[in-house]
Amino acid sequence: MKKHTKYIIEYENVLEDGVIDDIMKAFDSIRGRRLLKGERNKDRKNYAHYLGMWKNDPYLYYTERKISQYGEYWLGRYREDCPEIEYSMMSEYPILENFVYRYYETGDQYNWHVDKSHTDIQLKISLLLFLNDDFEGGELAFVNDNLKIKPKKGSVVFFPCGPYFLHSSTPILEGNKHVVWNCYGQKATPPDKTYF
């Protein structure tokens, strides 16, 4: 475990090379396919594929389920290693996930942003799983902590969602970067009546 700050924690070598190779083989089939409209734009200059969209493809569905299992395990570790995060979680509601495969080509980047939802789901914790490190640039940068994390193949980084954790992926100078991203969120179902 590498504690970059109190809340930004990296776990190294969470996946063996063979597991990563299997994941990358599954993703070979979706690289280059049509993206969601607006997914690649001036701020988000990378390619994204929401893994939940491929439920009809048994190989990709199996890959997503395996990534989910690994993610749940390491999320549990993060919650143990960063107990303050529990104050942002609602124990009475389930934790939701939506894994996204992102890849960056030379010149691509992800401008400064905050991980937030465009729905009624409240995002709580971000996960970035690095699938390779044979590229130049592409650091995970946090503006408020003046921190840059160089991606390492097989490592996962967790941090809370919210405005303090404004972050970016610096431009890829050479090569291609492959990551799996997820924000764990919760959807609070409102009660039938409101009490004041």
Task: Give 97-152 pLDDT, tens digit per residue.
Answer: 999 999 999 999 999 999 988 788 899 999 999 999 999 999 999 999 999 999 99
Q: Spell out the alpha helix ranges (H) of 41-170.
A: 58-81
Per the CB < 8 A criterion, the answer to whether 47 and 35 are in contact is yes
Structure tokens that stand for 175 in this block: 């090569």
Domains of the chain: residue spans and CATH: 2-186 (2.60.120.620)
Beta partners for 179?
102, 130
Task: Give 28-64 pLDDT, tens digit per residue.
Answer: 988 877 666 667 888 889 989 999 888 899 999 999 9
| pTM for the predicted model, two decimal places | 0.92
Q: How far apart are CA 17 and CA 134, in angstroms?
A: 13
| Angle made by CA atoms 53, 185, 67, in degrees to the nearest 5 | 50
Identify the CA nearest to 172 among candidates 129, 124, 139, 125: 139
Q: How far apart are CA 151 and CA 122, in angstroms?
A: 27
